[in-house]
């Protein structure tokens, strides 16, 4: 994200050079509902009568690929909103679900200072069912639903004059006060949020306001089935075309801004999309193989080049021609080029293959007394004082006293800890292997589906033998598949330490479980 942001900011000075015109012309695109034939119409509009509504540009989504696809568009979206402000358009930021997390922000409070007006008799806006692929773009290794987002994407700037409405009535009052005749929609996820939310396109069209969709600044609630060529890009195109047939015209906002001198057509801030899109902090775990698709939907002429070893993708790297089938863990880096010039920002995808499921232990951790424990809190003279909300390691329950729950099921034996935490045992001569399943405890999603919290837990599990790291997990998140440990214990080993650490982003809600954990005994 930060890499794309630098590319954006370096070109921002280019956008503001044109004196604002009193009226602009944009090309509206619709489709014949029966044939799909494209129709274009040029419309002239006063920018002061245009409101731009950015819907659900959240900082997290339960689908990791959806999260990263938002991340990919935000630099483009932020630049477009800045251009809209410079032309006198009213920018409205609408992060439904979490808008009240902005209580006290002038942009939210100002909405309540606008006089309410009665809604008109609402139009009956008819629309056939929209193509909906189920909402997860990670394929068969499907993410599980939670409501972890707690705000807008951090790279989306909040302008001093922006507004943050949340309802149909609030948006309509703004339109009446400011004389807005058009609402231009950007944001996510098109067929769910832009369509169904109370400040969304269908609701405001029903209120009699002319609505337009920016087709290059939206993304569908996606799906992924590479075996039949179904990708998030295809799903987004299908949804946009459905809107053009049945709901509203669209514009290509970057092209319109470029014609006005408000957009650098050579800007290379859009990254290559990766599907599924694992990252270092949210890796994609798989068991046998995973099929990875690379795409550049907003640079159709780009030649995508990639590496599989984590090295920088240059104009001489391998050319992407078809989906990649991975059988082992890889770190993919990709970028787009034209004539040797980079036209897409670099992307990275992190994929980790799990090992085989371990055998059951002969000796479980709950039967053993550790020689050392330390955890989340303060320690004085070797004695830990646990922080509020954290306890010493709990036997056969989570650290908060609930049933152990990882891998989307409950477990009867194990240890529940709060990272950072270490539990150390003296190795017995007959112990030959340490085995366990590990993961972030899923109790955080038991209340309100993890609302505002499920994005925070990140834990790395490690096993140390006599002070040396013997094994480690990738970063584990809520509702991700369990990680397996099957660690040989060298002859003569004295101590084994089981460690749960935060992943470098703090320890909020870092409840970690070791289940079916213990030692395999040998002769």
Are 440 and 452 a contacting pair, CB within 8 Å?
no
Question: Which tens digits make up the pLDDT trace of 175-221?
Answer: 999 999 999 999 999 999 999 999 999 999 999 999 999 999 999 99
Asked if pLDDT for residue 17 goes beyond 70, the answer is: no
Task: Please tell me the predicted confidence (pLDDT) of residue 67.
Answer: 97
Residue 340, number of CB atoms within 10 A of its CB: 9
The residues pairing with 498 across neighbouring beta strands, listed in sequence order, are 423, 463
Question: Which tens digits make up the pLDDT trace of 426-453?
Answer: 999 999 999 999 999 999 999 999 999 9
Homologous superfamily of 23-265:
Isochorismatase-like (3.40.50.850)
Peptide bond into 392 cis (omega under 30): no
Which residue ranges does the chain devote to CATH 2.60.40? 284-353
Say whether domain 363-521 belongs to CATH 2.60.120.1060.
yes
CATH class of 284-353: mainly beta
Which residue ranges does the chain devote to CATH 2.60.120.1060? 363-521
Query: If you average pLDDT over residues 492-510, what whole number do you get?
Result: 96
Asked if pLDDT for residue 21 goes beyond 90, the answer is: no
Rounded distance, CA 25 to CA 454, Å?
44
Task: Please tell me the predicted confidence (pLDDT) of residue 10.
Answer: 37
Task: Please tell me the predicted confidence (pLDDT) of residue 523.
Answer: 81
Asked if pLDDT for residue 400 goes beyond 60, the answer is: yes
Task: Please tell me the predicted confidence (pLDDT) of residue 7.
Answer: 36
The closest of 432, 447, 245, 270 to 343, measured between CA atoms, is 270
The closest of 370, 368, 354, 491 to 433, measured between CA atoms, is 491
Question: Which tens digits make up the pLDDT trace of 29-80?
Answer: 999 999 999 999 999 999 999 999 999 999 999 999 999 999 999 999 999 9
Are 7 and 268 a contacting pair, CB within 8 Å?
yes
Q: pTM (2 decimals)?
A: 0.93
């Amino acid at each position: 994200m930060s890499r794309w942001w630098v590319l954006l900011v370096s070109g921002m000075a280019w956008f503001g050079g044109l004196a604002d015109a009193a009226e602009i012309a944009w090309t509206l695109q619709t489709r014949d509902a029966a044939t799909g034939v494209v129709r274009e119409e040029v419309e002239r509009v006063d920018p002061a009568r245009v409101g731009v509504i950015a819907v659900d540009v959240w900082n997290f989504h339960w689908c990791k690929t959806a999260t990263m696809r938002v991340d990919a568009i935000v630099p483009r979206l932020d630049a477009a909103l800045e251009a809209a402000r410079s032309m006198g358009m009213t920018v409205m930021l609408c992060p439904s679900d979490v808008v009240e997390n902005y209580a006290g922000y002038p942009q939210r409070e100002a909405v309540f200072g606008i006089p309410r007006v009665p809604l008109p008799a609402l139009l009956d806006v008819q629309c056939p069912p929209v193509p909906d692929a189920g909402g997860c773009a990670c394929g068969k290794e499907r993410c599980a639903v939670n409501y972890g987002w707690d705000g807008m994407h951090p790279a989306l700037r909040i302008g001093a004059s922006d507004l943050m409405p949340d309802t149909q009535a609030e948006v309509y009052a703004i339109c009446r006060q400011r004389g807005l005749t058009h609402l231009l929609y950007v944001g996510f996820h098109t067929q769910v949020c832009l369509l169904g939310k109370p400040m969304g396109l269908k609701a405001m069209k029903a209120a009699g306001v002319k609505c337009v969709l920016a087709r290059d600044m939206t993304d569908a609630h996606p799906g992924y089935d590479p075996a039949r060529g179904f990708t998030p890009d295809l799903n987004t195109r299908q949804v946009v075309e459905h809107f053009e047939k049945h709901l509203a015209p669209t514009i290509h906002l970057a092209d319109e801004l470029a014609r006005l001198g408000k957009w650098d057509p050579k800007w290379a801030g859009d990254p290559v999309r990766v599907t599924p899109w694992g990252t270092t902090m949210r890796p994609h775990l798989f068991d046998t193989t995973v099929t990875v698709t690379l795409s550049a939907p907003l640079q159709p002429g780009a030649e995508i080049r990639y590496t599989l070893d984590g090295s920088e993708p240059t104009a001489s790297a391998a050319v992407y021609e078809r989906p990649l089938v991975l059988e082992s863990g890889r770190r993919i880096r990709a970028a787009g080029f034209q004539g040797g010039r980079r036209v897409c920002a670099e992307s990275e995808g992190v994929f980790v293959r799990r090992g085989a499921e371990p055998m059951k232990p002969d000796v479980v951790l709950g039967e053993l007394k550790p020689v050392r424990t330390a955890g989340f809190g303060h320690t004085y003279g070797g004695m830990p004082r646990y922080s509020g909300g954290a306890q010493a390691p709990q036997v056969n329950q989570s650290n908060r006293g609930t049933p152990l729950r990882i891998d989307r099921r409950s477990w009867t034996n194990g240890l529940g800890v709060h990272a950072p935490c270490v539990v150390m045992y003296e190795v017995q001569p007959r112990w030959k292997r340490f085995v366990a399943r590990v993961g972030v405890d899923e109790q955080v999603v038991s209340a309100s589906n993890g609302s505002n919290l499920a994005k925070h837990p990140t834990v790395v599990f490690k096993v140390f033998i006599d002070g040396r790291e013997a094994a480690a997990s990738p970063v584990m998140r809520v509702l991700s598949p369990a990680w397996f440990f099957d660690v040989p214990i060298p002859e003569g080993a004295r101590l084994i330490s089981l460690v749960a650490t935060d992943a470098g982003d703090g320890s909020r809600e870092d409840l970690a479980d070791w289940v079916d954990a213990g030692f395999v005994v040998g002769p």
